Chain A
Amino acid sequence: GAGVSQTPSNKVTEKGKYVELRCDPISGHTALYWYRQSLGQGPEFLIYFQGTGAADDSGLPNDRFFAVRPEGSVSTLKIQRTERGDSAVYLCASSPGPLNTEAFFGQGTRLTVV
């Protein structure tokens, strides 16, 4: 595709449920990043993939959060036992590689836990 695509655009879920958020990076981009943006804050780094492997998952807040990128393109962020504090916009970005300075962002998924 022409840009980074994230689905769904909005997701409302009940506390305790499981959710999956999808990111389709720009074709050929090997580096993929997930960020979380809480209300009134700047995005905070969650996890970085280089190819298929999670090269850095130090930003994941706890073990309820997990992300995969099995074929080195599409990535899924998975959140188990959602809590109201997980409500935020989840942004995905990709770049041709970690040395490339420009990251291209998707429009994010707004997750609301009720």
Chain B
Amino acid sequence: AQTVTQSQPEMSVQEAETVTLSCTYDTSESDYYLFWYKQPPSRQMILVIRQEAYKQQNATENRFSVNFQKAAKSFSLKISDSQLGDAAMYFCAYRSASRGSQGNLIFGKGTKLSVKP
């Protein structure tokens, strides 16, 4: 069974600085997707960034980028130029891409990010 581990329950960053959130996962599959979701107090999960395992190039979305290390099964999120609105819970998630996959996500326990003005 696949598992996702986020070892940082809480992180803090100064506004305009850079912060990196860690995620490791375990799987025996070769084809899968990895995601970072943001969950503000409104509770709605918002997709931040997505990575296909078959792609070597790290995904980037504006101020958000990932460091995907497939062999190490590591998938960290870097937030540059942090803004107050980035404060939220961040969840790393895994989704199988194998044939017959039903698309359900496996989540880590989350990292609470605080941004200091």
Residues of A within 8 A of B (CB): 31, 33, 35, 40-45, 48, 50, 55-56, 59, 89, 91, 93, 95, 98-103, 105-108, 110
Contact = CB atoms under 8 A, between A and B. Distances in A.
A103 B103 contact: yes
Q: How large is the interface on B (under 10, 10 to 19, 20 to 34, 35 or more residues)?
A: 20 to 34
12 contacts: A31-B102, A31-B103, A40-B109, A42-B109, A44-B107, A93-B105, A101-B33, A101-B52, A101-B103, A102-B47, A105-B46, A106-B44
A100 B103 CA distance: 8
A91 B45 contact: yes
A2 B33 CA distance: 26
B104 interface: yes
Nearest to A40: B109
A107 B42 contact: yes
Interface string B20-63: 00000000000001000000001111110010100000000000
A45 B47 contact: no
Contacts of B42: 107
B91 interface: yes
A43 B95 contact: no
B19 interface: no
Given A107-B42, A108-B43, A99 B103 contact: yes
Given A40-B109, A43-B107, A101 B50 contact: yes
Contact of A93 (B45, B50, B106): B45
Contact of A43 (B50, B101, B103, B105): B105
B104 A33 contact: yes
A90 to B, nearest CB: 10
Nearest to B42: A107
A42 B110 contact: yes
Interface string B85-117: 000000101010000011111111110000000
